């Protein structure tokens, strides 16, 4: 291996890893939150007959969750900026990179937990005769189509 290639290899590898991380995190932030939320509501309205008070309660829950989700998504974007800065500083999988990744993972976990809390709050709005259909809708929304 020539000295030029040897010197460029770590930078190329880091750029590739940063790109992969960015694609993964960006896709996770944009696609699941929006697609699954929209799909869940579409399926819910298709498969569960809701009365007016339930619709109003779900609208309130959705508005509250939208604020929480937006805050966590903004935090994830900030985590990505910190990760990029750490990669740029260390040019290796050093302590700052590892800390930035850990922080990002904590934020992703918080978003997933908040999403689940939201789904279960929605389930709490359902009557006993609606919960089985709601559960099917949630599973369908979370399961990729074959």
Domain carrying residue 128: 3-142
Domain count across the chain: 1
Radius of gyration of the chain (CA): 20
Average pLDDT over residues 13-27: 49
Above pLDDT 70, what percent of the chain?
A: 73
Q: Is pTM, for the whole model, over 0.85?
A: no
pLDDT at 5 over 90: no
Q: Distance between alpha carbon 136 and the CA centroid of its chain, in Å?
A: 21
Q: How many residues does the chain have?
A: 146
98-109 confidence digits (pLDDT tens): 999 999 999 999
Q: What is the CATH number of the domain that holds 129?
A: 1.20.120.1490
């Amino acid at each position: 291996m020539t000295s030029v290639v040897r010197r460029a290899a770590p930078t190329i590898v880091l750029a590739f890893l940063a790109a992969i991380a960015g694609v993964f995190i960006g896709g996770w932030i944009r696609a699941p939150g929006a697609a699954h939320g929209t799909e869940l509501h579409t399926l819910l309205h298709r498969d569960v007959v809701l009365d007016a008070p339930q619709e109003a309660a779900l609208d309130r829950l959705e508005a509250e969750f939208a604020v929480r989700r937006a805050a966590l998504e903004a935090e994830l974007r900030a985590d990505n900026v910190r990760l990029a800065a750490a990669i740029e500083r260390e040019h290796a999988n050093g302590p700052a990179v590892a800390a930035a990744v850990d922080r990002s993972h904590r934020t992703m976990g918080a978003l997933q937990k908040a999403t689940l809390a939201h789904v279960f709050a929605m389930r709490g709005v359902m009557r006993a005769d609606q919960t089985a259909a709601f559960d099917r809708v949630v599973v369908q929304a979370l399961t990729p189509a074959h």
